[in-house]
């Protein structure tokens, strides 16, 4: 029997952020060793019958604050149903004049300003020590593929796309002070959110290709003569951005599924943890747990 993925295999997962809570379809809700994902995963069927998994990062009723999103369960659940590449959406503040509310951004770098309160590794609490490479936090091949395709899909809607930008991930839930917002600009930050970490780190540990499509909702708080950002400012732009995100998803996902099935896009992610594991599992429980995300390195002998 062939192990080649067919058109009926789920290969691409979409994580929807603030404002993007569904794509429609049948649902599954796998319990992982790290608990349940933030929402049941819906399997939407795109013409011509391509299955795409969708998960709402904050839950379908926006129940989870950025610090409490069960990111390990989310990534593990997507991997458990066969997903190999994740396209994540996120509402972000802009730290640059030329990135206007309503613009789309595909970043290539991250500055971590979370506070260490979010579980950020699948190996935490186990006997395994592993150091995933994270110099390039987004998958380069997936990001390059998306740049072309997303740009085409946004042209029809007259929306600008910025690429190769740096996203600052802050803890929240409060927004930044004016001093912090100004400092992030000096550090080289271009956009800011509260959600890309630990999601991107966990995708790397699970050997999944991961890229972010960010949608700007506001100018954060660095502009001296303008009011600082409020949640109301963000919410004002969310619906329009979510509608355009759905358009982008509808245009790119069928071809992305085909590119993932062909495999070339995955060559940097598959196998990336092989040399990252510096201490193997010391207990059958740890092997069983880690088998869920990395079965090749943690085989369960029956
Ligand atoms: C609703 S304002 C702050 C909130 O919005 C973004 O969410 P997401 O990335 O899931 O779209 C940001 O990261 C914060 O979590
Ligand atoms: N200004 C901002 N800061 C952090 N996260 C955001 N999400 C949307 N706008 C944001």
- Any atom of ligand 1 within 6 Å of the Cβ of 194: yes
Residue for token pair 């069927």: 45
Please report whether residue 60 resides in a domain: yes
Give the pair of three-digit tokens for residue 287.
């092997």
The kind and range of the H/E element at 155 are: helix 140-155
Check which CATH number belongs to the domain holding 187 and give it: 3.40.50.1580
Give the pair of three-digit tokens for residue 232.
């109301």
The kind and range of the H/E element at 51 are: strand 50-56
Please report whether residue 5 resides in a domain: no
The tens digit of pLDDT for each residue in 14-69 reads: 999 998 998 877 889 999 999 999 999 999 988 878 999 999 999 999 999 999 99
Q: Which of 43, 66, 63 is nearest to 53 (CA)?
A: 43
Please tell me the distance from the alpha carbon of residue 222 to that of residue 229, in angstroms, as a whole number. 9
Nearest atom, ligand 1, residue 19 CA: 11
Instruction: Using the mean position of ligand 2's atoms as its centre, give its distance from the Cα of residue 47 in Å.
Output: 34
The tens digit of pLDDT for each residue in 95-118 reads: 999 999 999 999 999 999 999 999
Within 13 A of 56's CA, how many CA atoms are on the CB side?
A: 20
Please report whether residue 210 resides in a domain: yes
Whether 3 shows a pLDDT value over 90: the answer reads: no
Asked if 125 and 53 count as a contact pair (C-beta separation under 8 A), the reply is no
pTM: 0.96
Please tell me the distance from the alpha carbon of residue 285 to that of residue 14, in angstroms, as a whole number. 30
Asked if 86 and 78 count as a contact pair (C-beta separation under 8 A), the reply is yes
Give the pair of three-digit tokens for residue 294.
């990395």
The tens digit of pLDDT for each residue in 265-276 reads: 999 999 999 999
pLDDT at 4: 56
Q: Which of 219, 229, 228, 157 is nearest to 190 (CA)?
A: 219
Please report whether residue 154 resides in a domain: yes
Please report whether residue 213 resides in a domain: yes
Asked if 37 and 73 count as a contact pair (C-beta separation under 8 A), the reply is yes
Probe residue for ligand 1, chosen from 193, 210, 218, 232 as the CB with the greatest number of ligand atoms within 8 Å: 193
Asked if 167 and 92 count as a contact pair (C-beta separation under 8 A), the reply is yes
Using pLDDT thresholds of 50, 70 and 90, give the confidence band for residue 207. very high
Per the annotation, the verdict on 233 as an active-site residue is no
Please tell me the distance from the alpha carbon of residue 186 to that of residue 166, in angstroms, as a whole number. 12
Task: Give the residue numbers spanning the domain of 32.
Answer: 12-297
Task: Supply φ then ψ for residue 81, to 5 degrees.
Answer: -95, 5
Please report whether residue 251 resides in a domain: yes
Please report whether residue 207 resides in a domain: yes
- Give the count of domains, the chain: 1
Per the annotation, the verdict on 103 as an active-site residue is no
Buried b (16+ CB within 10 A) or exposed e, 148-187: ebbeebbeeeebebbeebbbbbbbbeebbeeebbbebeee
- Any atom of ligand 2 within 6 Å of the Cβ of 233: no
Beta-sheet pairing, 161-170 with 129-130: unpaired
CA distances from 61 to 14, 56, 58 (A): 17, 9, 7
Q: What's the length of the chain?
A: 302
Please report whether residue 6 resides in a domain: no
Please tell me the distance from the alpha carbon of residue 37 to that of residue 16, in angstroms, as a whole number. 13
ipTM of this complex: 0.99
Instruction: Using the mean position of ligand 2's atoms as its centre, give its distance from the Cα of residue 184 in Å.
Output: 13
Instruction: Using the mean position of ligand 2's atoms as its centre, give its distance from the Cα of residue 177 in Å.
Output: 12
18 annotated as belonging to a binding site for a ligand: yes
- Any atom of ligand 2 within 6 Å of the Cβ of 105: no
């Amino acid at each position: 029997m062939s192990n080649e993925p067919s058109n009926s295999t789920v290969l691409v997962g979409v994580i929807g952020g603030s404002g993007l809570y569904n794509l429609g379809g049948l649902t599954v809700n796998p319990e992982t060793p790290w608990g349940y994902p933030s929402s049941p995963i819906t399997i939407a069927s795109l013409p011509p019958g391509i299955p795409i998994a969708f998960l709402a990062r904050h839950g379908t009723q926006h129940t989870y604050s950025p610090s409490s999103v069960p990111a390990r369960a989310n990534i593990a659940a997507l991997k458990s149903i066969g997903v190999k590449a994740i396209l994540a959406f996120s509402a972000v503040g802009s730290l640059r004049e030329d990135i206007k509310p309503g613009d789309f951004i595909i970043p290539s770098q991250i500055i971590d300003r979370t506070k260490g309160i979010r579980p950020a590794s699948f190996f935490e609490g186990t006997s395994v020590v592993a150091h995933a490479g994270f110099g390039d936090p987004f998958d380069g091949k997936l990001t390059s593929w998306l740049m072309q395709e997303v740009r085409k899909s946004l042209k029809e809607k007259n929306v600008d796309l910025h690429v190769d930008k740096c996203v600052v991930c802050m803890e929240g839930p409060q927004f930044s002070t004016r001093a912090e917002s100004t400092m992030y600009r000096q550090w080289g930050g271009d956009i800011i959110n509260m959600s890309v970490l630990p999601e991107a780190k966990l995708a790397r540990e699970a050997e999944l290709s991961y890229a972010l499509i960010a949608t700007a909702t506001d100018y954060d708080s660095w502009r001296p003569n303008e009011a600082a950002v409020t949640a109301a400012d963000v919410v004002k732009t969310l619906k329009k951005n979510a509608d355009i995100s759905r358009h982008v998803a509808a245009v790119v996902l069928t071809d992305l599924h085909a590119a993932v099935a062909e495999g070339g896009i995955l060559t940097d992610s598959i196998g990336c943890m092989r040399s990252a594991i510096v201490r193997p599992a010391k207990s059958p429980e740890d092997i069983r747990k880690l088998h869920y995300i990395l079965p090749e390195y943690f085989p369960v002998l029956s």
